[in-house]
Amino acid sequence: MPVFVLSIKVDLENVSSLAPKTQSVWVIDAKNGQSDETRRGVTISAGDDFEIEGSRGTANLIIKFADAKEKSTCRILSSDDKKLKKLKLRAVTDDNWTPFLAMEARGMDVLKVDLGDNFVAASTEGTIFDVDLSDGDWADYDEPNDLPVSVTNAITKVEVLR
């Protein structure tokens, strides 16, 4: 089963780390692995756990594409999952590409993941903020430390882990 890794690149101002929340609900675009049928705006959460028919396994998302014989499944991988091999999912701490989310899919491809309000940021002085990157940018003010804080120019890419 392929593993789809989402990486992000951002500009940080007075932010020491940006990380996904532990129980995020992600909105994805998924494509049937056997045709061009695409579903946009599908939600997936690590908190959801569905039994896969005819299997002992579970998935965080099960989709039945109209032109597919079998249901497609997807599951969010934890950062210590052996399927990630040497790849380390981590918080964003600089302006380099940072892998922060991975999904294992069967029968479908993950095309896009919307960032939404799924993040927390720590200012360089340690103040914690909820961050919404729906528009690609976020800004606030760390009042106790008299600092502007921002995450801007967020861009993402989805790659298949080989």
Provide the terminal-to-terminal Cα distance of the chain, rounded to the nearest Å. 11
Q: Give CA separation, 90 vs 41, 49, 68, 95, 105, in Å.
A: 25, 23, 35, 13, 21
Tokens of 4: 């789809």
User: Tens digit of pLDDT for each residue in 39-51?
Assistant: 999 999 999 999 9
CB atoms within 10 A of CB 59: 22
For range 127-150, the mean pLDDT? 97
Tokens of 128: 């914690």
Predicted TM-score (pTM) of the model is 0.92
Phi then psi for residue 35, to 5 deg, are: -155, -170
Of residues 44, 14, 60, the one with CA closest to residue 113: 44
User: Tens digit of pLDDT for each residue in 111-126?
Assistant: 999 999 999 999 999 9
Distance from C-alpha of 84 to C-alpha of 158, rounded to nearest angstrom: 14
